Structure formats: structure tokens, C-alpha cells
Amino acid sequence: MPNKTQYAKDLKDKDTVNSPFLVKFSAMAVGKNGKPFMNLIFMDKTGEIEGKIWEDVNRYAGQAVRDAFVHIEGRCQVYQGRRQIVVGRLQVLREDEIEPKDYLAESALDPEALYSELLGHVATMKDPFCRALAEAVLRDDADIVDRLKRAPAAKSVHHAYKTGLLEHVVSMTGILDHLAGHYGKVIDRDLLFLGGFFHDIGKLWELAYDRVTDYTTEGKLIGHLVMGVELVDRKIRELEAQPGRLPGVFPEEKKLLIKHLILAHHGQLDYGSPKRPKCLEALIVHMVDDLDSKVNAIRTFIEQDQTPGRWTALSRQYERYFFKPDWAMGGQESPEAPRS
């Protein structure tokens, strides 16, 4: 069985494809001629590419299923401006025939380094209640620590790769630290930090991320905002039950504010928040979350764009074309660049 030598990002029009991929999406459809065919999305650590199976559909229908590793022989072609693999042959691979890390995108940053940075931020917290809570969740709970080093921040859209959630949280905490310094005493820095740490913590269980990222049943039924609030509630009760962990009973108002930061971080009722931000810390956490996720999403979109020249293809999500700066040109000279 040939190893992974071809990657989704590198495939070009008319390339012969002979390589394993992970199936991200698979659906049957019927063509205008009444014949069934399959729509697929294949993925590996470099990105995704669409695929079509026109022949032997019944044979492949049970094999090219989501989460399957498959070896593909076929041809890459560009159809209506989009690359797709027309699959000639497909064979399901066993787990021991593949190297899982070739198929799942991961953060460019080291999980251990990110995690120490996170604990570094926790160590600067002043309020003993807030700090004990942060330590109980982020330092002392082995299951959370393990998940935090692996979880993506989303199924798609932003930080949608291994360790993406931790990258997002650490990035946000850096920004929140600056803003706490900038705005000074009107802002409770410890509360702001807890908002950064915990706003998406429910995603550790809202998403399943061993293979293709998807929502769990708990994620679909409850969602990461309420799941985060439940976690905070449970951790505070556990802390209160352990003698000596807290200097007293956890202040009720602080508890409510921490929960509010989580519940309000989507900013609006129609974006899934049951409460709009009703304190400055909640407003800042919401806006920094929005900023950090958009910067990551647009940066990734620009990086993965394959359109020649200075402008990306149309981003359906943001309904605009983006300008590609020099770092995104990958050695390709801009047609508009002045000649020297």
C-alpha cells in the first residue's frame, strides 16, 4: 500500500491521483440522466478536496463513508472553478495501514508550549476564588488537560484543527491582558481572564474530534454555552467541598458573573446567547472572541486560496474577495506589482 505522498492542497487540474485520504463527507445523488453518483469530500492535514464517483456507485456506497480511510485512484479536474477528484477506484484501508496524523490538520503551534503559556496566565491572577477555579479546571483536571491539548475550536469556520481551541483561548487571553492594562481599574482582569478561559470550554464535550470533527449528542442537545456553565457550577461545588481550597464560600455574585460571561459570549440572542453582555467584561470577551475567530478564519481562507493573483476567490462566509498580502503569495509574483 503506497504511503501518503499526495496532499489535497497540492492537487492540480489533470493530476493523476493515487493516494489515501480520509472521507469527510459522503452522499448519494441522482444525475439528470437518472443514474446515481456519489458526492464526496476527502481530507488530509493540508485541507479538503471534493470528489465524485460516477461508476460502480453501488459497490462503493458502503465503503466511501464518513470517517473511513480510503485509497483513491483517479484524476483531479477543475469543474466550474473548483477542484475535484473523479474517482476511478477506491479501497478502504485499515487503521494500521495509515498514519492518522497525516489526515487531521493541527495547529502550527506546539500544544505543550501553548498549555504552559495558559498556566502562566493563570499564575498572574490575583483573586483567590477566580484563581482557584481556573486552577481546578485548567491544571488539576487531567481529562480536561488532555482534551484541551487536542480539541479544535469548531467543526469548520475558525481554528478548526487539532489544538485549535487552546490556540484560540491563549490568543484571546493575550489580547484580554492588554485590554485589562489599557482600560485599567474599570475592568476586573481576573474575571476577564475567566471569560477567555471558559467561554468555549464546553466545546471539549460539545465536539467529537478523534477523526472528522462533529457534534456530540450532548453538543447537539445542550450546546457549549450551557455545558460551560454546568462545568463551572460543578467545579465551584467541588472546590467548596474540599477543605482549604478556598478562603471561604465562593462569593455568589462572582459566580453569577462568571456564568454570565459564558452565556453572553455570542453577543446576541439570535447567535445563541440567552443573555446579551451586561457588564464590560462580558462585552469585551464577546468582542475579542469575535475578533480572534474572524482573524483566524480569514487568515486560513487566504492561506488556502489557490486563485492566481492578488485577490482570493469569493468567500461565501464573508461575502467578499480578500486582498492577498505578500506573505500569502508563496513566491508567485503579483501581476500588479511594480517592475524593478
Residues that bind Fe ion (CB under 5 A): 200, 289
Q: In angstroms, give the least distance from the CB of 168 to Fe ion.
A: 6
Q: How far is the CB of 103 from Fe ion (least distance, A)?
A: 25
Q: In terms of CB distance, is 101 or 278 closer to Fe ion? A: 278
Nearest approach in angstroms of CB 223 to Fe ion is: 9
Residues 244 and 60: their CA atoms lie apart, in Å, by 61
Which residues have a Cβ under 8 Å from the Cβ of 195 and sit 6 or more positions away?
A: 176, 258, 261, 262, 265, 281, 282, 284, 285
Q: What is the dihedral of CA 16, 19, 24, 28, to 10 degrees?
A: 60
- Cα 311 from Cα 20, distance rounded (Å): 31
Q: In terms of CB distance, is 93 or 287 closer to Fe ion?
A: 287
Closer by beta carbon to Fe ion, 64 or else 144: 144
- Which residue carries 475579542 as its cell? 288
CB of 153 to Fe ion, least distance (A): 6
Query: Directed axis angle between helix 224-241 and helix 189-198, to 10°?
Result: 120
Query: Smallest Cα–Cα separation from 14: which of 84, 91, 88?
Result: 84
The CB density around residue 61, as the number of other CB atoms within 10 Å, is 14
Instruction: Using the minimum distance from each CB to Fe ion, give the nearer residue, 49 or 192.
Output: 192
CB of 272 to Fe ion, least distance (A): 8
Query: Could you tell me the sign of the dihedral formed by the alpha carbons of 316, 304, 323, 298, in that order?
Result: positive
Q: Which is nearer to Fe ion, 40 or 284 (CB)?
A: 284
Q: CB of 43: closest distance to Fe ion in angstroms? A: 23
Q: Looking only at Cα atoms, what is the longest distance across the chain?
A: 74
Q: Which is closer to Fe ion, CB of 48 or CB of 289?
A: 289
